[in-house]
Chain A
Amino acid sequence: MPRKRLRNTRPRSIGWVGDLLDTYVEARSRSGAWDEMFGDSGDPRPPYRALLETLQSLSGSDLEERCVARDRSFRDQGITFSLSGEERPFPLDLVPRIISAEEWAIVEAGVAQRVRTLERFLADIYGPGEILVDGVVPRHLVTTSTHFHRAAYGITPPNGVRVHVAGIDLIRDVDGRFKVLEDNLRTPSGVSYVVENRRTMARVFPELFTSHRVRPVAGYPARLLEALRAAAPAGAGDPTVVVLTPGVFNSAYFEHSFLARQMGVELVEGRDLVCRDGIVRMRTTEGEQRVDVVYRRVDDDYLDPLHFRPESLVGCPGILNAARAGNVTIANAVGNGAGDDKLVYTYVPDMVRYYLGEEPILDNVATYRLDDPDQLAWVTAHLDELVLKPVDGSGGYGLVVGPSASDADLARLRTAVIADPRAWIAQPVIALSTAPTQIGDHLVPRHIDLRPFAINDGESIWVAPGGLTRVALPEGSLVVNSSQGGGSKDTWVLAGAERGPSDEVVAARASAGHRPPAGQRPDPGPAGGSATQQQQQQQQQQQQQQRHQC
C-alpha cells in the first residue's frame, strides 16, 4: 500500500524527540524493565520505527498545540475525571503504544482462552461444582470468597454466558512476555476511553496514522449490543436492552452514557425500573415497557436490595428473582466476582488444564497464597520486598507496594494480613514494561500495563484489537489505576496480512461488476463572473466614484 501522505513534509531544525533520545535511553536502562519502544541496543523496535520517524519531524510547538487541542476536545465532550475534587480532562498521552500483529495474536488467543475457562468455572461453581469435588480448587476457597453469592446458585443464563464482557489486565515482564495480572469479570470499565482515545488521536495527531495500518476499535459497541441481544431470554423476539447505571455521580457515568448512546439503547437508573410478577419493566411515557436484558454497571451488592444490601437505592428490587425465573438476563451475571477473586486467580492455570485440556497461553504472575501457613510466614517476614493486594479489591485500592511503603504502613499491613490471610495475596515487585511518555516537554520512560476487553456472545469470544493502556505517571511508580492518578495511551494493534472488511467489499464489487454511477455536477449558482456582471460591477463602482466627487 502506498504510504498515505497527509502534510507537506518540511525540514525541521530541532527534533524534540531527537534531543531527548540520549536521556531516554539512559533512563530506561536504569529502570531495568522491558522498554516498548527501544531494544537493549538502543535501536527502536520494528513496530515503532515509523512512529519514531514521524515524531522526529515535529517541533516542540507542534506538540504544545496538540496538547491544547486534546485537552479542549476531552473537556468539551465532558470526558473528564475528578482527581481530588477537581475536574480534569482525561489524561491521554500523545505517544501511542504499538503492538505488532504477531504479538497481538498471542494476547488475543490467551485472553479468549482465559475467558472461556473462567466462563466454565463460574458455570461449574454455581452448578454441579465438579472442580470442587475433584479437588482442583479447594471448596473453602470459593465459599469464603466475598463475591461468591449463594443467591446466584442455580441461575442458568439463557445462552450460557455469564461473562458478557471481561477485562483481563496484562503486564509485560522484563523479558517482554505478556502475563496476566488480574481478571475482571464483574463490570470492567475503561472501554469508552479506548474508543474516545482513538477518535481524539486521529483528530489532533492525524499524521501519526499516515504511516501505520491500525486496526479500528470503534466497532466495540455494536459487538456488545449483538452479544447482549444474543443473551436475551428465549421468546424475546426483538429484545429490549438497557444499560443500568448508578447515576450521574458515578465516576464511570461517562462510560455508561457512552455505551448507551453508541448502542442506541436506554440508559436507566434503578428508579426507572420496576419489577413485578417476576418481570422487569421500565417506566416510559407510553406506559411500562418490558426489559429483556440489563447490562448493569451497578455492583452486585447494590443491584437487588431484596438479596443484597437492603439500603441500596440504586438497584432494582426483585431483579434477581426475575433472572432466576428466566424473564430477564443480567449482564454480567451476579456472582462473577467469585471468578476474579485474586486468590482464585492463582488457580486459573490449573483450571485451563482441567476444563480445556490445554496449556495456558498467558502465564500468571508468581503469587503467594497466604492461606498456606508456610507462605504466610515467609511473606510476613518479607513485606518490604513484596506487593500486597486485597483479594476482592479493584481499582488499585488497598494495594501496598512494599519497597515504597513506610515502616508504620508495613506494621499495619502485617497486623491486617495475619488477622485475615484469606483477604490478601502477595506478589513480587514486577517491573512493568516502560514506554515513552510526555512529561512537560520531554519524553521519559514510564511503566504501563494493558487491559484488553473481551466480549462473549455465546458463540465465540471476540477480543477488541487494542485495549486500554494505562500509564503510571510519577517516576518509577508501578500503580497505573486512573483512580490513583494514572494516565492512558491510545493502543494500536497493527493490521497483519489478513484481509479486512473493506477488502471484502472491494472484492464483492469487482465480482459483481458494480461501478457506482458517476456523480452529477452540483447545480451552479447564479452566473458569476459573466461578462455582463463584470460590466455591471464596473458601472456600480463608477457611480460610486462620481457620487464621491460631487
Chain B
Amino acid sequence: MLSRIAESLFWIGRYVERAEDTARILDVQFHRLLEDPWIDEDAACRGLLDVMGVPIPKTDHLGALEVCEQLAYNPTSPCSIVGALSAARDNARGAREAISSEMWECLNATWYALPEQVAAARNVGPHGLFRFVKERVSIMGGLSSSTLSRDDGWRFLVLGGSLERVDMTARLLSARWGDAAGSPGWVTTLRCCSAHEAYLRTYRRAVDASLVAEFLLLDRLFPRSVFHALSTAEACLAELDPLTTRSGLDDEARRILGRARTELEFRRASELLRDLPSHLARIQGACSEAAVAVAERYFRQTAPIEWTA
C-alpha cells in the first residue's frame, strides 16, 4: 500500500486512541477534583497537565476549568480531545479510499458534532462530552474491526493505537509514583484506564500501589495493560514483515518494542517497582523510538522536489 496512506492509518489509530484515553483520564480526574474535599486543586491540575506533556500556563491558580480548556476543548493542540479528533479526521480525509466509508462517516460526523458538544460541556459540565467521545471512539473501533480487511492497512491502524495506549498508560503510572500505597489516587489511576473493576475481579482486595502497578504494567489479559498493548503492537509489526532472517531481526521498530516487552516480561514485579519511574521513562522512550523507526521504514517520503529556474 502507499506509504502516505499507511502513515495516515497509523496516525488515525494514534489520534483516536489519544482522544479516547484523554477523555477517560479527564472524566475521572475532573470528578475527583470535585469530589475529593482534601485535594489541592492547583497541584493536581499542574500534575495532570505535566504528565500529559502539555506546557503549563503561567497563572497563580490552575483549576479544572483551565485543564478542560487545555486537554479537551483546545482545537489546535494535538494533545487535546478536540484537536486529536480533528487531526484523525484530517488524516482520514486523505485516506478515504483505504478505510471503509462507514469509518470515515463516523469520524466526520463526530467532528461535526464536536462544537455543539463543547458548548454544552462549557455550560453544564464536561461529563457529556467525555461520554460522547468514548462512545464515538468505541463505534469507530467496532466499525474498523467489522469492516476492514485484516491487511496491512488494518495493521498500521492497530499498531498506531497500541503504541499510543502504551504511552498513555505509562504516563498515568508515572504521575502516581510516590503516592502512598493506600492512597485513593491509585483507584483514580485504575479508573482512568477503566481497569478498576477488572482489577477488583483479579485481586479481590482493596487497591494497593504495587498491585496496581503490576496490573497496569504486566497483566496478560487486560487489554489496556502496557504488556498487552506492547504485545499487540509487536504482533502487528511481525505480520507486516513476516520474513525472518536466519539470525536477529532487521526491523528496528520490532527490535525496540520486543526489548521493551521482554524488559517487563522477564523481570520480577518487585524489581520493576523498585525503580518504576526509570522503567516507565524507558517504555515511553521506546514508543517514540519505535514510531520513528516505523516512519523511517514504511512511511519514507521524499520531500517534494522544487524545480527552480
Contacts and interface: CB of A to CB of B under 8 A. Distances in A.
Contacts of A7: 65, 122-123, 125
A520 B288 contact: yes
A127 to B, nearest CB: 32
A504 B180 contact: yes
A210 B174 CA distance: 28
Contacts of A518: 50
Given A241-B204, A264-B197, A506-B43, A214 B53 contact: no
A222 B207 contact: yes
B175 A516 contact: yes
A500 B65 contact: no
Contacts of B63: 4-6
Interface in B178-218: 178-180, 182-185, 187, 197, 199-207
A275 interface: no
Interface in A383-413: none
Nearest to B18: A522
B107 interface: no
B127 interface: yes
Nearest to B280: A517
Interface string B36-57: 1111111100010011110000
Contacts of B180: 501, 504-505, 508
Given A203-B127, A226-B206, A536-B304, A528 B87 contact: yes
Most B CB contacts (10 A, CB to CB) among A202, A226, A520, A535 go to A520
B175 to A, nearest CB: 6
Contacts of A508: 178-180
A514 interface: yes
Interface in B21-48: 30-31, 33-43, 47
Interface in A1-57: 1-2, 4-8
A526 B204 contact: no
Contact of B37 (A69, A213, A226): A213
B185 A505 contact: yes
Contact of A6 (B65, B79, B203): B65
Interface in B112-164: 122-125, 127-128
A147 B169 CA distance: 52
Given A264-B200, A500-B36, A523 B178 contact: no
Interface residues of A, number: 68
A222 B179 CA distance: 19
A202 B31 contact: yes
A419 interface: no
B20 interface: no
B303 interface: yes
Contacts of A134: none
A509 interface: yes
Interface in B75-99: 78-79, 87, 90-91
Nearest to B206: A222
B14 interface: yes
Contact of A520 (B35, B43, B277, B284): B284
B284 A69 contact: no
Contacts of B127: 203-204, 206
Nearest to B87: A525
B288 A261 contact: no
A62 interface: yes
A261 B197 contact: yes
A517 B197 CA distance: 28
Given A501-B183, A517-B277, A198 B35 contact: yes
B229 interface: no
A109 interface: no
B41 A216 contact: no
A179 interface: no
Contacts of A464: none
A523 B40 contact: no
Given A69-B124, A264-B201, A264-B202, A214 B37 contact: yes
Contacts of B269: none
B37 A265 contact: no
A80 interface: no
Contacts of A272: none
A505 B35 contact: no
B61 A2 contact: yes
B128 A522 contact: no
B37 A216 contact: yes
A218 B171 CA distance: 25
Contacts of A516: 47, 50-51, 174-175, 177-178, 277
Interface centre among B123, B167, B199, B204 (most CB of A within 10 A): B204
Contact of B38 (A2, A202, A264, A501): A501
A141 B42 CA distance: 59
A17 to B, nearest CB: 18
B92 to A, nearest CB: 13
Contact of A204 (B125, B183, B202): B125
B79 to A, nearest CB: 5
B303 A206 contact: no
B184 A502 contact: yes
A86 interface: no
Contacts of A547: none
A263 B178 contact: no
A219 interface: yes
B159 to A, nearest CB: 13
A164 B201 CA distance: 22
Contact of B34 (A209, A265, A528): A209
A240 B205 CA distance: 10
B291 interface: yes
Contacts of B34: 4, 6, 202, 206, 209-210
A210 B33 CA distance: 9
Contacts of B73: none
A502 B122 contact: no
Interface in B270-303: 277, 281, 284-285, 287-288, 291, 299, 303
Contacts of B123: 7
A240 B43 CA distance: 40
A528 B185 CA distance: 37
B7 interface: yes
A502 B53 contact: no
Contacts of B227: none
Interface in A303-330: none
Contacts of A205: 125
A509 B202 contact: no
Interface in A506-541: 506, 508-509, 512, 514, 516-526, 528, 532, 535-536
B104 interface: no
Nearest to B31: A202
Given A7-B123, A62-B124, A203-B127, A523 B38 contact: no
A495 interface: yes
A215 interface: yes
Most buried by A among B53, B128, B197, B202: B53
Contact of A517 (B14, B15, B204, B281): B281
A4 B204 contact: no
Nearest to B291: A523
12 contacts: A6-B64, A199-B31, A203-B31, A209-B35, A214-B37, A216-B35, A218-B35, A264-B203, A264-B205, A502-B185, A509-B178, A517-B277
Given A504-B180, A519-B51, A523-B291, 4 more contacts: A261-B197, A505-B180, A522-B78, A526-B11
Which 3 interchain pairs have the tightest Cβ spacing? A264-B200, A500-B38, A213-B37
Interface of A: 1-2, 4-8, 62, 65-66, 69, 198-199, 202-207, 209-210, 212-216, 218-219, 222, 225-226, 229, 240-241, 261-265, 494-495, 499-506, 508-509, 512, 514, 516-526, 528, 532, 535-536
